Amino acid sequence: MCDEKVNRCECINKTFAQLKEFADFESAQAKTGCGLECEGCVPYVKLMFATGETAFDIDDPRLAAYQ
């Protein structure tokens, strides 16, 4: 069991805390390119904007709403 938290877009190497500076997912993506490469972080970034949290369990059940 991996207890490491998901806290960044690995592809552009920006933390969710850094991406939180933008107004919303769309502007964060437009300005940084987050979520465009592997797209693996997209549900996490959306959940970050919805909740304000910046680190998540890899299998956070709330992610289902943001797939």
Q: For binding to ligand FES (CB under 6 A), which residues are involved?
A: 9-11, 34-41
Say if residues 35 and 8 touch (Cβ distance below 8 Å). Answer: no
Closer residue to ligand FES (CB): 14 or 51: 14
Say if residues 21 and 12 touch (Cβ distance below 8 Å). Answer: no
Closer residue to ligand FES (CB): 26 or 39: 39
Say if residues 58 and 7 touch (Cβ distance below 8 Å). Answer: no
For residue 54, the minimal CB distance to ligand FES (Å) is: 14
Provide the 3-class DSSP secondary structure of residue 15.
strand
For residue 50, the minimal CB distance to ligand FES (Å) is: 17
